[in-house]
Amino acid sequence: MTRLWRNRDGIRQQFLHSEVIDSASQLAWFDAYVGKADDYVFIAENSVGQPIGQVAIYRIDDDLRTAEVGRFIAAPGEDGKGQMRRALEGLCIMAQQYWALTSVYLQVFAGNERARKLYERAGFAVTGDEGLIVRMEKHFD
């Protein structure tokens, strides 16, 4: 399901690795993924249990109490409704309450204004700019 969401034109180009993912590549990724203790992918659902997208938290650092969030993908027809912002906000609450993190960060293409605005509305601020990639962080009070 999420591989098909991610492979759509206009979506996959927003990922650092933008090639089309085939089923063999997905299985290889999954085999590596299941061995990780600091990487979680969630399917976000609407109020009636229909999948509306994917969010992830990874590179969880218990010592620094921070993690990276990303791999955000809206299901077809679900973008622009505010649901992914709410899913991201829910992921941030989980990061704070379940993992006791003090902040999360993400990376986004500098030219992806739509995503950057979504992240700003969710409480993220720019903390680094490498030209092509912008780093944004959200600190929890």
Q: What CATH number should be reported for the domain whose range is 2-139?
A: 3.40.630.30
The Cβ of residue 114 has, within 10 Å, a number of other Cβ atoms equal to: 12
What band does 8 get if pLDDT is binned at 50, 70 and 90? confident
Q: What is the pLDDT of residues 107-128, one digit of tens each?
A: 999 999 999 999 999 999 999 9
Whole-angstrom distance, CA of residue 55 vs CA of residue 94 = 12
pLDDT given at position 48: 94
Whole-angstrom distance, CA of residue 136 vs CA of residue 40 = 20
Domain boundaries, the chain: 2-139
pLDDT given at position 138: 98
